[in-house]
A and B are shown apart, each in its own frame.
Chain A
Amino acid sequence: MTDTAEWERPIPALDGVSKTYWEAGARGELLFQQCPACGNRQLYPRAMCTACGETPEWVRASGRGTVHTFTVIRQNYGRPFRDELPYVVAIVELEEGPRLMTNVTGIAVEDVRIGLPVQVYFELAAEGVGVPFFHPA
């Protein structure tokens, strides 16, 4: 996990629900939500189940998933991203089902494919804010 002094990206603002998610990340744990009423699993985390409206519970994910789709960003004028081009933005589908946006690192951008097995790791954006990234499993 990197030191927060190195973090120049936007930082998630903690709210009533996201606080739990980012704080778990700071401990190296990836969470998703599951509905005790209907079993629906979801990310991003919300105050209610998107399927039935009940209050969901937190579940720890294995951290394993696959690339569902992705792009290689080759133009971005915003700092610090413009200094990191090219890089991969991906939608990763966790083996438990929910999907999230992330970056896939530790692999040449030309070699990323849909279906690539990946594993989560975290970087610390700020105190109590651990952001999930993925590298090839």
Chain B
Amino acid sequence: MPADRTPVIAGIGLSDYPKAPDLDGVQHHVLAMQRALADCGVKKSDIDGYVGAGGSGVMIDDPVTMAEYLRIDHRYIDSTMTGGSSFEFHVQHAAAAIKDGICDTVLITYGSDQLSRMGRTLGTGGFHRTGQRVGGPIQYEAPYGNSLVGAYAMVAQRHMHEFGTTSEQLAEIAVGVREFAGLNPNAMYRDPITVDDVVSSRLIADPLHKLDCCVISDGGGAIIMTTAERARDLAKPPAYVLGAAGAQTHWNISQMPDYTQSAAAICGPIAFDRARLAPGDVDTIQFYDSFTVSVLMLLEGLGFCGKGEGGSFVADGHLRRGGDLPMNTDGGGLSSCHPGMRGIFLLIESVRQLRGDAGTAQVPDARIALACGSGGWLSCIGAVILGKEHP
């Protein structure tokens, strides 16, 4: 009988967050890797594939440098960099490589000391110096002083215009995620908030308020993927990769073809088709909540509600603790941890849920989890559907 090469996530590890002033970006990678190895019992020497996106900021942590630093003698490497969604793309690619026999055991790492080293200005300017010459497509945007928040704000503005979505509806997303953050002792912000708290916090880029925006933190994560066959001998039950897909509609925000539709509408149906599942089969979602509106766009794109219906959908409480689709059970980027690229944490929290290891935030009988990352300016969307049982 041939070996069962069904791809799984076997090990997960988090470094320290939300603030770890004694760790640099590379140390976040390393600590997360050490914890992922300890989590599942894989030896470092067993790893024959390495994947990373780099991007920690100050440190040099591009994937070939990291493969050398970690001394991974790989026969598979992937340096896909799609922004915060990179890790969802990584899992898609690594799953194919494992299934195809290119490699057996893949390590994915991420680390960033963004808060400790760079402070909290990210997202609101300072991309370019005064009078700096800017080339490439961003030359058509740089003269106008847009911010990262402003890009998402223009999406929210258009969604409100077309569908009557309100700031109060968007605020429901932040309120629900904060409730879960209250259950996570490590979360950056844990005190409950109300819709009124969100809409009365100061505007950063209309119509997005401060509490519509994610935190800025330190943090790192690691994932070990292997075959279902290999996972039988490991310490923790595997999370099976049932379906994964990614797609891109643009990179820079001025090129977004439709400001109320993301590439989730492309990759979502592909991922569900591969998993032979539908949105109604999903027990918990871990979505990239860079901003409240990001969640709305992913919900609609993936088909959890109709286009334009995201506002009323979130206001109905589906995503809350006790709802039928609990989201961001670790406190999300909005309240817990966002070191710059959050995608890996979505996968790690999905695995914790499927293992039943999520403590007080555990979704009862979670069998199917969906991690969906958004990279850039709602540009590159990656969806990964994970299952507790062998497909």
Expressed in whole angstroms, the minimum distance between the Cβ of A81 and any Cβ of chain B is: 4
Judge if B131 is at the interface, Cβ distance under 8 Å: yes
Also in contact, A125 and B143, with CB within 8 A (given A13-B133, A76-B124): yes
Complex Cα gap A86–B135 (Å) = 26
Judge if B232 is at the interface, Cβ distance under 8 Å: no
Also in contact, A78 and B205, with CB within 8 A (given A13-B135, A103-B145): no
B147 contacts A75, C-beta separation under 8 Å: yes
Interface residue total, chain A, C-beta cutoff 8 A: 39
A69 contacts B158, C-beta separation under 8 Å: yes
Also in contact, A12 and B161, with CB within 8 A (given A71-B150, A79-B130): no
Judge if A37 is at the interface, Cβ distance under 8 Å: no
Judge if B265 is at the interface, Cβ distance under 8 Å: no
Complex partner residue of B140 from A79, A100, A114, CB under 8 angstroms: A100
Also in contact, A101 and B253, with CB within 8 A (given A13-B139, A73-B205, A76-B124): yes
Judge if B2 is at the interface, Cβ distance under 8 Å: no
B205 contacts A72, C-beta separation under 8 Å: yes
Judge if B127 is at the interface, Cβ distance under 8 Å: yes
Complex Cα gap A7–B143 (Å) = 10
B128 contacts A74, C-beta separation under 8 Å: no
A91 contacts B259, C-beta separation under 8 Å: yes
Minimum CB distance partner of B161 in chain A: A114
Also in contact, A10 and B129, with CB within 8 A (given A73-B147, A100-B254, A102-B144): yes
Judge if B196 is at the interface, Cβ distance under 8 Å: no
Interface residues of B in 37-91 (CB under 8 A from A): none
Contacts of A75 in B (CB 8 A): 124-125, 147, 149, 204-205
Complex partner residue of B259 from A69, A74, A76, A82, CB under 8 angstroms: A69
Interface residues of A in 1-43 (CB under 8 A from B): 7-13, 15, 18, 43
Expressed in whole angstroms, the minimum distance between the Cβ of A48 and any Cβ of chain B is: 14
List chain A positions with a Cβ less than 8 A from chain B: 7-13, 15, 18, 43-44, 68-82, 84, 87, 89-91, 99-103, 114, 125, 131
In the complex, 24 of the A-B residue pairs with CB atoms within 8 angstroms, ordered by the A residue number, are A8-B130, A9-B143, A9-B145, A10-B142, A43-B140, A44-B137, A44-B140, A69-B155, A69-B157, A69-B158, A69-B259, A70-B157, A71-B146, A73-B146, A73-B150, A75-B205, A77-B121, A78-B145, A81-B125, A89-B146, A91-B253, A91-B259, A101-B140, A125-B143
